[in-house]
Structure 1
Amino acid sequence: MAKYNTLLYYCYSTIADAEQFAADHLKFCKSLGLTGRIIVADEGLNGTVSGTPEACRAYMDAVHADERFAATDFKIDEVDEPSFVKMHVRYKSEIVHSGLRDPNIINPNERTGKHLEPAEFMAMKDDEDVVVLDVRSNYEHSVGKFKNAVTLDIENFRDFPAMIDQLAQYKDKKILTYCTGGIKCEKASALLLHEGFENVYQLHGGIIKYGKEVGGKDFEGKCYVFDNRLTVDVNSVNPEVISTCRNCGKITPKMINCANPECNEHFTQCDECGTQLEGCCSTTCQSHPRKRVYDGTGYYVKVPQPINTSKKNKVQLVQE
């Protein structure tokens, strides 16, 4: 039995005085001995936390006990060690950065795509009148995606709104959106509806829940996650590796961050090239004076920095 759990979750629900909530929530998480990363905004919560099964159960019970977050859907992974080193809670303007802050246009609590449970998504995804749309960034779908999915050339989710015109060709189709845990689809599907797409759906719980409930059929490759695991397996039915080493082109499922902290690019790299380039994406980055020590994982703990958590531009530290 695994010694730890990792929880992935989000909840769109209005939080009054979200800045203070973030500070209090950090103390609460630390009191449970959790590690992880949580974003708090006026619109809700978005988090991944890791700890003992007992600590994670206590955390989920506390979140569900708050009527604002009672409907939160936790995706639970069993892991051999915590998926983070430290506990961070940050206040931000959005729980997933889209640049769309007008509640008259995007409000997942009022209008969003129809939620499909994993079994429903699997039953619909191959229909002729369906387009499966990946709303994640390039580095995420480069390591894994649904078979025949439409992917977008975007570096961050905030680039998604600019892609609407390119998606107009699918307006007469049923659009099935998906992402890692479901949070990006809430806003992506809401925007598609606002832009005149009529038949918009989203995979409830995202790729992670799909893998747990129906075995991940037809998800090719691995799923990128935002913790020190970097990627996780999803498909136990018909798995296939689709990613290739950026440097030599060899098939590899391994994704890392460039060891040059000023680059820090997410990319796929085989172990041989990782050893030769010391975890860097290029010889230029390999010669950088601040290059971090490559231990074979390609994951590096970020050094805590003062961040602006106040609307009044007061600099505070919300992580230790």
Structure 2
Amino acid sequence: MALHNRVSAAELKIRLANEPFKRVTISFYQYAKIPDPQLFRDQLYESLFQLNTFGRIYVAHEGINAQISVPDHHFEALKQQLYAIDFLNGIRLNIAVDDDGKSFFVLKVKVRDKIVADGIEDPTFDMANRGRYVDAGTFNELAADPDTVIVDMRNHYEYEVGHFEGAIEVPSDTFRDQLPMAVDMLADKKDKNIIMYCTGGIRCEKASAYMLHNGFKNVFHLEGGIIEYTNKARQQGLPMKFKGKNFVFDDRLGERISEDIISHCHQCGEPCDTHTNCLNDGCHLLFIQCESCAKKYDGCCSESCQTTHALPVEEQAELRKGVEKGLMFNKSRRRKIE
């Protein structure tokens, strides 16, 4: 069998829309030593393909990072497949909080240098020396202490639509920049309890190890991230300390955690937390847009993009020639809506 997709995105989306069964969206990760990432990748792709799994998975020498969806009737088989892999035996599977089953439409498994791009080049850095896990209940207890420092290790556009009460934002566009920034920002708090969190746990786990590597003492990270916290808090009837939406990196672009809307439409300023990508194929800027502005600008981020989007497809393609991709796909906080 081919170990990659050969069907067009348009056809795959039609197939997904016509599926007669439900899907469940799952995320998981594990830091582990994988001697041959390419061989592991190929074997994993073949086994997941047999279960009609969709999603995006990164494999590296340092481990695996996965966000997938699987037919509900294949969930137990998927779990057994994963548990049959030594370093994934008993792995926590984060079940999506607000799931329509349409998170992914194709399976992509890629080999990367790292499962989280961190910019760390210090050979003495060791992921084995990481912070202590805290579950939902312990998180709430520690968060109630005014001397506890809660640190959000996600990007600005994730923090903007939802975060824990009192959480500090590390104002950077990339995780690799956030790590040294967090060390500098918290330099006078090395003896305080510091809780780091992210979406599913993978970034805050590495961040906790980096903080310990830089001399911090009492570092914790939220087990399973926001996703696991939300599921456990609801199951156990705990006070929900997360406000707003949890941004997710799939077609949903967010899952509702609380009814609070803490952000605003980037075009008119009205309360809104709906992320979208500009429909101009030469832009695709990720931004927040309310329904009214979506109609006014035809799903585009500006009048100029709206004008371009209205042109014939051939003319749009001509305009995009020679444009650097970095300018087209820009989630940076420095990129402003006109």
Alignment-mate amino acid for residue 84 of structure 2: A
Aligned to 1:3, which of 18, 22, 38? 22
1:261-280 map, 5 Å: 261-280=281-300
Note if contact 2:171-2:178 (Cα within 8 Å) is conserved in structure 1: no
Task: For residues 66-90 of structure 1, give each alpha carbon's deviation from its aligned partner in whole angstroms, at most 9, with x where no partner exists.
Answer: 1111142101237443310111001
* Match of residue 317 from structure 1: none
Alignment-mate amino acid for residue 228 of structure 2: K
- Unmatched tracts of structure 1, length 5 or more: 294-320
Note if contact 2:22-2:72 (Cα within 8 Å) is conserved in structure 1: yes
Cα distance in 2, alignment partners of residues 190 and 20 from structure 1:
28
* Match of residue 302 from structure 2: 282
Q: 1:260 to 1:103 in 2, by over 3 A?
A: farther
Note if contact 1:274-1:280 (Cα within 8 Å) is conserved in structure 2: yes
Is 1:88–2:108 an aligned residue pair?
A: yes
Aligned to 1:232, which of 251, 255, 258? 255
- Unmatched tracts of structure 2, length 5 or more: 1-20, 314-338
Could you say what the CA RMSD is over the residues aligned between the two structures, in angstroms? Answer: 2.1
Aligned to 1:153, which of 167, 171, 174? 171
Q: Comparing 164-173 with 129-138, which one deviates more in the overlay?
A: 164-173
**Structure 1 length normalisation: TM-score?**
0.84
Alignment-mate amino acid for residue 275 of structure 1: K
Cα distance in 2, alignment partners of residues 217 and 93 from structure 1:
37
Aligned to 1:113, which of 110, 131, 143? 131
* Match of residue 56 from structure 1: 75
Percent identity, please.
Answer: 37
Alignment-mate amino acid for residue 51 of structure 1: V
* Match of residue 296 from structure 1: none
Task: For residues 230-254 of structure 1, give each alpha carbon's deviation from its aligned partner in whole angstroms, at most 9, with x where no partner exists.
Answer: 100223xxx4110110011100121
Q: 1:39 to 1:101 in 2, by over 3 A?
A: farther
Cα distance in 2, alignment partners of residues 284 and 54 from structure 1:
47
Cα distance in 2, alignment partners of residues 184 and 245 from structure 1:
28
Note if contact 2:34-2:63 (Cα within 8 Å) is conserved in structure 1: yes
**What is the number of equivalent residue pairs in this alignment?**
287
Q: 1:141 to 1:72 in 2, by over 3 A?
A: same
Deviation of 1:102 after TM superposition, in Å, equals: 4.2
Q: 1:67 to 1:280 in 2, by over 3 A?
A: same
1:1-320 map, 5 Å: 3-77=22-96, 79-102=99-122, 104-105=124-125, 107-108=126-127, 110-163=128-181, 164-215=183-234, 217-235=240-258, 239-288=259-308
Question: Higher helix fraction: Structure 1 or Structure 2?
Answer: 2
Note if contact 2:95-2:227 (Cα within 8 Å) is conserved in structure 1: no
Deviation of 1:158 after TM superposition, in Å, equals: 1.6
Note if contact 2:279-2:309 (Cα within 8 Å) is conserved in structure 1: no
Cα distance in 1, alignment partners of residues 156 and 255 from structure 2:
17
Q: Comparing 95-104 with 115-124, which one deviates more in the overlay?
A: 95-104
Q: 1:268 to 1:66 in 2, by over 3 A?
A: same
Q: 1:177 to 1:217 in 2, by over 3 A?
A: same
Note if contact 1:259-1:292 (Cα within 8 Å) is conserved in structure 2: no
Secondary structure at the aligned position of 1:192 is classed as helix
Task: For residues 264-312 of structure 1, give each alpha carbon's deviation from its aligned partner in whole angstroms, at most 9, with x where no partner exists.
Answer: 222211111112112222223223359999xxxxxxxxxxxxxxxxxxx
Cα distance in 2, alignment partners of residues 34 and 95 from structure 1:
20
Alignment-mate amino acid for residue 158 of structure 1: R
Cα distance in 1, alignment partners of residues 144 and 120 from structure 2:
31
**Structure 2 length normalisation: TM-score?**
0.80
Cα distance in 2, alignment partners of residues 173 and 116 from structure 1:
15
Cα distance in 2, alignment partners of residues 103 and 63 from structure 1:
30
Note if contact 1:285-1:291 (Cα within 8 Å) is conserved in structure 2: no
Secondary structure at the aligned position of 1:281 is classed as coil
Cα distance in 2, alignment partners of residues 169 and 267 from structure 1:
34
Cα distance in 1, alignment partners of residues 73 and 86 from structure 2:
22
Secondary structure at the aligned position of 1:169 is classed as helix
Alignment-mate amino acid for residue 244 of structure 2: G
Cα distance in 1, alignment partners of residues 151 and 274 from structure 2:
24
Note if contact 1:3-1:53 (Cα within 8 Å) is conserved in structure 2: yes
